[in-house]
Amino acid sequence: MNNIAPKLTPEEYEKNFAEIHPPFSKNSAMVEANRCLYCYDSPCMKACPTHIDISTFIKKIATGNVKGSAKTILESNWIALTCAKACPVAVLCEGACVYNERDEKPIEIGRLQRYAIDWYFGNGMPPLFSPAPPTGKSIGIIGGGPAGLSCAAELCLLGHTVTVYDAKEIPGGLDTWGIAPYKTTQADSIKEVKLVQSLGATIMTKTMVGSDITIDELLKTHNAIFIGVGLNHPSRLNIEGEDLPGVHDALAFIARVTTRKWPSVNVGKRVAVIGAGNTAIDAVTESKRLGAEQVMLIYRRSQNEMPAYEFEYELAKSDGVEFHFLTSPLRIIGNGKVEAIECTRMSLGKPDAEGRRAPIPVPGSEFRIPVDMVIKSVGQNIEESFFSKIPNLKIENGQVVVHPESFQTSNPKFFAGGDCINGGKEVVNAAADGKRAAYGIDQWLRRPANG
């Protein structure tokens, strides 16, 4: 890539990637915790996919029982730190806070949860739970992301032997490799991995199931398998020039940023990001914060159809990102490297199958935008080459089909949860799936005919 944006000073990087929501001091946590009304059967608890008893954990912070607060949180959610820092709280717990109905600022639930969980990790993870007696059953977990870790932790408490297989050198999945550093850090994700290990789970890193170890081998070792592999296959644009040097995949780009080795991540002076989901927002915002001079988000529909959350959009706008709505890329142009992107204007037609208005190219509206780097963020799919190795596994619309309560797949020895069953949701959804799947697995294994 030519036209690499100049590197920033270490201080500038630190400033640009400083936490957007810094931790509470003890005093500010107490003030905020005391503001909580301690609702009964609270709307915030119902809005959380893991149903953390939020008003109870906040009350415990207020009384100075922070250890008990952490226990209340972890009882419902093993990925509590990442969720506290990266959850879209405005559309979940904090969006449901009753203070909204009183036209007042909702309780900062995410930051209070972080306060309790920071305390827990900062105090050496004191034991909170007693595992059930050993069952003698063994479960293999494919993928050490939030779904897999959550499932592993719960299975350990249920008395099972658990091995997690993770392809990367550091487990944690997208918690480790896919969240912007101004939201959370790899270091925090690793704390959650350590928590799961402390409960007894074995984690095999750099172990890609299907190549480093086969499905058959797993079936020989384990009584049941949980699949929490997420979505590993980036969608393609299927346009000319897509494989030119200087065209990147958003998740790979974001993963490099999570390592915090910022000077090693090259960005062009002019960056175009294709797509308008929350990952695209991470890509534009991180590009800008790495020093790109001009960052554009290109989206074929309008702002109304944009999948990114409102607060993510606002963050990118405040970083000076340009939004090109109703614009679709036709081809990426360049002689051995990206030089420009040719686009067409779009208009919105009738609603499509998903109910969103379908974009239609405006004839004769083609134009070029000079760019040095293109980041593709148009979604991810399941890795079909992996799933094809599992016999009798039913997949529909690119998602693994599971029983809604047990999370069992069409192959009874396999259970699944997280992005590979929902098409890509939040960390907290994966955490909820993994925990519930653990109970599905446990109940299935306890039937005499199984296991």
Partner 1 sequence: MVDLSISCGGIKSPNPFWLASAPPTNSAYQVCKAFEAGWGGAVWKTIGEPVMNVVNRYGSVDYNGQKILGLNNIELISDRPIEVNLREIAETKELWPDRAVIASLMVESDRQVWHDMVMRAIDTGCDGIELNYGCPHGMSERGMGAAVGQVPEYCEMITKWVTEISTIPVLVKLTPNVTDVRYPGRAAKKAGAQGLSLINTINTIMGVNLDTLEVNPSVDGKGGHGGYAGPAVKPIALNMVSQIATDKEIGLPISGIGGISTWRDALEFILLGATSVQVCTAVMHYGFRIIDDLVEGMSNWMEEKKFTSLNQVRGKSLLGISDFGNLNLLYKTTARIDETKCIHCNLCHIACEDSAHQCIDLVAVNGHMQPRVREDDCVGCRLCFIVCPVESCISMVRKDDGTEAITWNELMKQLPQPLTWQALRSFQAKHGIDIH
Of residues 65 through 104, those in contact with partner 1 by CB under 8 A are 98-99, 101-102
**Distances 125 to 152, 274, 425 between C-alpha atoms, Å:** 17, 42, 28
Q: State which residue, 54 or 441, has the beta carbon closest to partner 1.
A: 54
Other beta carbons within 10 angstroms of residue 353's beta carbon come to 6
Output 32 or 442, the one with its CB closest to partner 1.
32
Shortest CB 38 distance to partner 1, Å: 7
R_g over Cα of the chain: 23
| Number of CB atoms found within 10 A of residue 49's CB | 22
> In the bound complex, what is the minimum distance in angstroms from residue 99's beta carbon to partner 1?
8
Return d(Cα 293, Cα 291) in angstroms, integer. 6
Select 98 or 213, whichever has its Cβ closest to partner 1: 98
Rounded least distance, CB 100 to partner 1, Å: 8
Region 24-63 residues binding partner 1, contact defined as CB under 8 A: 30-31, 33-35, 37-43, 62
CA 156 to chain centre: 23
325 and 303 Cβ atoms separated by less than 8 Å: yes
**Per-position x/- string for 165-184, each x denoting binding to partner 1 as judged by CB under 8 A, each - no binding:** --------------------
Judged by CB, which is closer to partner 1: 68, or 423?
A: 68
List, in order, residues 6 or more apart from 165 with CB less than 8 Å away.
Answer: 140, 141, 142, 143, 144, 204, 207, 208, 209, 213, 218
Nearest approach, Cβ of 41 to partner 1 (angstroms)?
5
CB nearer to partner 1: give 99 or 439.
99
Note whether 329 and 274 are within 8 A (CB).
yes
Minimum distance between the CB of residue 195 and partner 1, rounded to whole angstroms? Answer: 28
18 or 31, CB closer to partner 1? 31
Contact assessment for residue 168 and residue 149, using Cβ atoms and an 8 Å cutoff = no
What is the nearest approach in angstroms of partner 1 to the Cβ of residue 106?
11
- Least Å from the CB of residue 35 to partner 1: 8
Angle between helices 427-445 and 146-157 (to 10 degrees): 40
Q: For residue 372, which of 285, 287, 286 has the smallest C-alpha distance?
A: 287
- Size of interface with partner 1, in residues (CB under 8 A): 17
Nearer to partner 1, 14 or 101 (CB): 101
Which residues inside 94-153 make contact with partner 1, applying CB under 8 A?
Answer: 98-99, 101-102
Helix, coil or strand: residue 4: strand
Q: What residues does 163 pair with on adjacent strands?
A: 140, 202
CB of 413 to partner 1, least distance (A): 38
In terms of CB distance, is 34 or 264 closer to partner 1?
34
Q: Is 188 helix (H, G, I), strand (E, B) or coil?
A: helix
Give contact residues for partner 1 (rule: CB under 8 A).
Answer: 30-31, 33-35, 37-43, 62, 98-99, 101-102
